[in-house]
Amino acid sequence: IEVMIFKGETMLKPNSEIAKILIKKFCDYYQQRNMDKLLSLFSKESYMLGSAMNESRYGIEAIKAQLNRDWAQSDKAAIEIIEFLPAPLDASWCTVFARANLTVNNQNFSFDNLRGSIYITKENGSWKIAHMHSSFADNRNPKNHSFPVQVQI
């Protein structure tokens, strides 16, 4: 995204609407498995965090390795944004609740508890994703509990 026009003004400052556009593009390119376009969304020193123990990726090559791992473990994968959570217009981030739709070994799976957020930065005149966190809520964690343990107090 070279220059963003929002309500007739050029966006020179971070903006949650720009973040929303970037996360939507991420979802589109992820489903298409378009590595070049996906990586073009990230700043050179981006950080990506996920649910698995080793999903802490820093830099373009590490993010590329993560995406390749995702695609090696699925026949198809799509991220469907369910809703954007409220954010101030001048925020440099956005947060979503999403659904992951996967096909693995010809079996379809759908997971509704995917949460994602990004933080954006400007790099060489373009808005980029500087930080991305996506993870699934731990289904061992009971509703209204902060931790996945049940202890009588």
* pLDDT at 149 > cutoff 70: no
- Asked whether residue 130 carries a pLDDT value surpassing 80, the answer given is yes
Q: Which has more pLDDT, 122 or 88?
A: 122
Q: What is the DSSP string of 11-30?
A: --S--HHHHHHHHHHHHHHH
What is the model's pLDDT at position 8?
45
* 3-state class (DSSP) for residue 138: coil
The answer to whether 118 touches 91, Cβ cutoff 8 Å, is: no
CB 57 within 8 A of CB 47: yes
Tell me: the pLDDT tens digits for 45-59? 999 988 887 888 999
Would you call 72 helix, strand, or coil by DSSP? helix
Inform me whether the pLDDT recorded for 2 exceeds 50. Answer: no
> pLDDT by residue (tens digit) across 15-45?
788 899 999 999 999 999 999 999 999 999 9
Report the Cα 47 to chain-centroid distance in Å. Answer: 11
132 or 153, greater pLDDT: 132
